[in-house]
Amino acid sequence: MSGFTLTDAITWSVPWALTPVDIINAAAVECGLSTWTDPVASTDVNAVKLETLLNSLGRELYTRYDLAVMRRRATLTTAISDTGDYPLPTDWYCMIDQTGWKRNTIFPMDGPISSQTWEYLLNRVGSATVTAMFRENQGVVQIFPRPVTSVYTLTLQYRSRYWVMSSGQTAPDKALISAGTDQLLFEPALLVKGLKFSFLNANGLDAAQAYREFQEALDATRSAEAAAKIRMDSQGIFATNRFLDWANVPNTGFGP
């Protein structure tokens, strides 16, 4: 039984991406250290610490922040008699809220639903629904109704764990640095400032200014990502589809 697979796959073009050698050496200079030919291959205690901290920084960025470079799109096509349990993509971190849809219908995926609702669905009389309800559990996406009785396609977006692309690859393929030639997909300034702060802080040095620089780099990265605007008039490109208008915004702030 197949699971969710990456869709809209493209060959990545990231000429701005720097390597761990670039990032570690830049942060090292800002911390008053010497540089290395290849800090990833070095046994120098500071090089090892900087590489470890850079991996930790990468994990923190993909777990805490919804940055555009980490977004992926996945599709699942069911088959009759499937159990309803589907493996997640190998780089899955979490689903992006309200991006799940049952393709070629007007119905979104309903969920993730609570454990209480899941038990209700499993134990009620009858299992007919107009859409797919889901939850993430034990490393799989569980779909209801189950077992599957019809063929349909689900599509969603999720946040990936892969922020590193091996040399010669055309797409991100790992969540940890393993070679000095890897390409790192987060903004270079964000990684350098974040690594500088992490190193100073880990060594008990004054890191207040470095923290401010990291936060400024993070704010700049997030604000540079285009944000879609939800229109409340009838002139948007989806004028016939209600996302946010008078019909689904409650009256507040006045009256009884």
DSSP readout, 65-116?
---GGGEEEEEEE--TT--SEEEPPTTEEEEPTT--EETTSSPBPB-PPPHH
Specify whether the CB–CB gap between 215 and 196 falls below 8 A.
no
pLDDT at 249 (0 to 100): 53
Q: Tokens representing 27?
A: 């942060």
pLDDT at 256 (0 to 100): 46
- C-alpha–C-alpha distance, residues 173 and 22, integer Å: 20
Torsion of CA 214, 219, 221, 224, to 10 degrees: -160
Global pTM reads: 0.82
Residue 222 lies in a domain: no
Specify whether the CB–CB gap between 143 and 79 falls below 8 A.
no
Residue 152 lies in a domain: yes
Per the structure, the complete domain to which residue 65 belongs is given by 1-184
Per the structure, how many domains does the chain have?
1
Residue 220 lies in a domain: no
Q: How far is CA 36 from CA 17, 22, 56, 65, 86, in A?
A: 19, 10, 20, 31, 45
Residue 248 lies in a domain: no
pLDDT at 242 (0 to 100): 52
- C-alpha–C-alpha distance, residues 144 and 135, integer Å: 9
Residue 52 lies in a domain: yes
Per-residue pLDDT of the chain (256 residues; tens, 9 = 90+): 678 887 777 788 888 899 999 999 999 999 999 999 999 999 999 999 999 999 999 999 999 999 989 999 999 999 999 999 999 999 999 999 888 888 888 788 888 888 888 888 888 766 666 678 888 988 899 998 888 888 989 999 999 999 999 999 999 999 999 999 999 999 999 999 999 999 999 999 999 999 999 999 999 998 887 555 555 555 554 455 555 555 555 555 554 4
Residue 66 lies in a domain: yes
Residue 204 lies in a domain: no
Secondary structure tally for the chain: helices H, strands E:
5, 10
Residue 102 lies in a domain: yes
